[in-house]
A and B are shown apart, each in its own frame.
Chain A
């Protein structure tokens, strides 16, 4: 092994990165009433409790729905902006980049509060889910933009010219040439957007309506007062869900990328 010190150091860092996640997964199989160590035997009882807990199930449904809707919206808006940014922006490129990344660069707390006051000021408040969806779109937009523009940067403009010289109109060129070639970026961006939206906390915390809850918020509320391993079971399921999304998409994506 070359440079053993560096390798061991990195392994330690990876262990540090994984530790809290593994601990949560491990705790979810604890048979005891509290998060005690060593665990009092293995059990799936907390999963049963959690699946029968309507509050958590409703929160999961809300989170999935919210993530799906905001992903679709931000993928469309972000892809359009990325196309303009890479191919047409010219001198305005830097300005557009900063604008598109601004939701990521600005403190999430401040954005969440601003948006909360704004929806109240214009009168819609948190009675509708508009504010919540807008917040999620804002937060996920930069991830779509980064991914799509990265794949567009490697989109060779001579492909577009070649298609034109062969007689393809604007829409055909987009559908047959550009879209298939930037698809990994678009899917990657959408995937990222979905996961980010699924995990967003502060924005949802401020903009959720009364009685409404996403999974991270429900979990947070629960953790403030409860210490049973049910929270670990909820967390583990959430981890499995996101991991599932990633793996499925990677497989689908992997097949496509492999072809070129």
Chain B
């Protein structure tokens, strides 16, 4: 007697074949390839040479220029993430819980930057932040400042633009998490004598922690690998790691060296994410107990 009869499709795994093939061939194998590439010798006239070496990594660790740049990139990423969280949380809360009539419109406003290309948004910031930009011109016209404020070509400008670019990625997961918290829990806490703030801190905040965590990780990773925004706003003066890596590959064709740089950035980023995840999970547990 055949025991496996009745339910659903005969060979459902066939549904996964195209996706798995795509990811395996065009994501997993290329990633293995780039790890191998980072250990190759530089080529002369070709992108890479024949043998294997660890020189690329030695060069990275012995050159304070690159270490400084990695640090700078991580710092901008962390700052962007923190600012996104501070700016985005109240908005997420308002979207999830606020009893406002224009929630649909507000949701559209949060989503709208995602629908506009990153080049265009960064371009908008160059118009705003440039020495002859809207902000400086306005302030000068009002007589508040004499010479233009240095808003562009520095970490400040990059961070402002990155916060703008990635803010929706912070707001949306937090909003989803808060929406997932049953509003009656808040009412229950209030009925037990908790103030509005205490109810928020003891109930909403811990329960929306997964959303906060997801938003932070997403924003941090995205800002580490952002290329367009730092490139347009930072210009030639301030470079983040992603810009250095891409330029190294496009301009100089040093594949093994570029691979090592890209991997070092990704690995340090991943380590930061892991530490963050561990720390916040501990916080979460404490908050829950």
Residues in chain A within 8 A of chain B (CB atoms):
2-3, 6-7, 9-10, 13-14, 16-21, 23-24, 27, 35-37, 76-78, 80-81, 83-84, 87-88, 96, 99-100, 102-103, 105-111, 113-118, 120-121, 134, 137-138, 141, 160, 170, 195, 198-199, 201-202, 205-206, 215-216, 219-220, 223-224, 231-232, 235, 238-239, 242-243, 246
Q: Are B232 and A220 in contact (CB under 8 A)?
A: yes
Selected interface stretch from B15-23, B150-158, B182-190: B15-23
B275 at the interface (CB under 8 A from A): no
Residues in chain B within 8 A of chain A (CB atoms):
8-9, 12-13, 15-16, 18-20, 22-23, 26-27, 29-31, 33-34, 37, 47, 87-88, 90-91, 93-94, 98-100, 106, 109-110, 112-121, 123-128, 132-134, 137-138, 161, 164, 167-168, 221, 224-225, 227-228, 231-232, 242, 245-246, 249-250, 255, 258-259, 262-263, 265-266, 269
Across the two chains, which residue of chain B brings its CB closest to A121? B33
In the complex the two chains form, what is the Cα distance from A146 to B199 in whole Å? 32
Which B residues touch A220, using CB under 8 A?
A: 119, 228, 231-232
Which A residues touch B47, using CB under 8 A?
A: 120
In the complex the two chains form, what is the Cα distance from A35 to B18 in whole Å? 48
Chain B binding surface, main DSSP class: helix
Q: Are A110 and B266 in contact (CB under 8 A)?
A: yes
**What distance in Å separates the Cβ of A109 from its nearest Cβ neighbour in chain B?**
4
- Assuming the contacts A80-B18, A100-B19, A109-B242, asked whether A223 and B138 have C-beta atoms less than 8 A apart, the reply is no
- Assuming the contacts A24-B124, A80-B15, asked whether A107 and B119 have C-beta atoms less than 8 A apart, the reply is no
Q: List 30 A-B contacts (CB under 8 A).
A: A6-B90, A7-B94, A9-B90, A10-B91, A16-B167, A17-B167, A20-B124, A21-B113, A21-B121, A27-B127, A35-B127, A80-B18, A87-B8, A88-B12, A107-B242, A107-B269, A109-B225, A110-B31, A111-B30, A113-B262, A114-B27, A118-B26, A118-B30, A120-B47, A138-B23, A141-B22, A170-B9, A201-B118, A232-B123, A235-B119
